[in-house]
Structure 1
Amino acid sequence: MRVYGVTGWKNTGKTHLMERLVAEIAGRGLAVSTVKHAHHDAEIDHPGTDSFRHRAAGAREVVLASPRRWALMAELRGAEEPPLEALLARLSPVDLVLVEGYKRAPHPKIEAWRAAAGRPLLAGQNPTIRAIAADAPPPDAGALPVLGLDDTAAIADFILREVGL
């Protein structure tokens, strides 16, 4: 599977860019999956649901299945967070996996950057960043390509060229 990331500081438009890229690339007939890294205690299951009760009772993994979708929830229960590679190995094969976050992982990435966020570019310290998607000319972009943050088609074209699709 080909893997490409979207990274950047908080409030720079990563999730919105991911959403648009998935729609754009899937709309071109390619199968896309995503991995989203959260730095906090992300809770996708809520008190009162049966699956939540299963996890609260001590289940290590819970599969929730319905006629429309299924989900696997795993409780680490003190174990180390699995590396991205282990999570990718659990995915069904697709044309492209888009990864949000995982700044330090070795896959290639595009950095989302907004001037209003007031943060420096990550690209200067991260050689896995191959381009910048920005809402204004970023300082210190060096030789990296700079694409319009709202130009979803151009960003998708760039990523698909990078991964050979």
Structure 2
Amino acid sequence: MSVPLLAIAAWSGTGKTTLLQQLIPLLKARGIRPGLIKHTHHQMEIDQPGKDSYLLRKAGAEQVIVASDQRWALMCETQNQPVDLMMLAARMDTSRLDMVLVEGFRHEPVAKIALWRRGIKDDVAGLLDEHVIALASDEALTLDIPVLDINQPSIIADFIQQWLSEHS
């Protein structure tokens, strides 16, 4: 992996996707080209039933690439194996990226910005490990790491830009 990984980790319902939707354009405006890996606990089907790629995958193809002039996607059957973040990151074309943002994977040993809102779930301590480089919250907390305002995505983007300049 030749580009840094930075995870956005939080309890479900905290706003990881919402924050990333705001951060990605801000990072791109700063000249940073982010990729993204998103973890989901839900059953997902990105292919459409009845389409050729779906039919061929269901027929037993272990991997299927669907490609057009606009985009391509690789679908791999995993037979309910645990998801491996580093294997996924290795599949990305990092020659076109400056960093890979990761949504979820809060137990992985990668740099993370943890998100915490009071009342969502548990105490903030449940999110903090040695890989958390900052906390974005709607609460003013005193910690040994930077605490960023979760409602100010531009401040978080500034922090990411500074972190990236130190880690790339």
TM-score w.r.t. the length of structure 1 is 0.89
Greater displacement, 4-13 / 152-161: 152-161
TM-score w.r.t. the length of structure 2 is 0.87
Query: Does the aligned pair in 1 maintain the 2:33–2:99 contact within 8 Å?
Result: yes
Q: Give how far 1:58 is off.
A: 0.9
Segments ≥4 residues shifted beyond 3 Å: 122-125
* Partner deviation per Cα, 1:46-89 (whole Å, 9 max, x = no partner): 322222111111110111111211111101135x3341111111
* Partner deviation per Cα, 1:146-165 (whole Å, 9 max, x = no partner): 11112111111112222326
Amino acid aligned to 1:9:
W
Amino acid aligned to 2:118:
A
Once the two structures are superposed, the pairs formed by residues 76-91 of structure 1 within 5 Å of their partners are 76-78=78-80, 80-91=81-92
Aligned to 2:118: 115
Residues 92 and 122 (structure 1), Cα distance of their counterparts in 2 relative to 1, 3 Å cut: farther
**Does residue 34 in structure 1 map to residue 48 in structure 2?**
no
Aligned to 1:146: 147
- The CA RMSD measured in Å over matched residues stands at 1.8
The SS at the match of 1:72 is strand
Gaps of 5+ in 1: none
Once the two structures are superposed, the pairs formed by residues 90-105 of structure 1 within 5 Å of their partners are 90-93=91-94, 94-105=97-108
Query: Does the aligned pair in 1 maintain the 2:34–2:101 contact within 8 Å?
Result: yes
Cα distance in 2, alignment partners of residues 150 and 49 from structure 1: 41
Gaps of 5+ in 2: none
Cα distance in 1, alignment partners of residues 5 and 125 from structure 2: 19
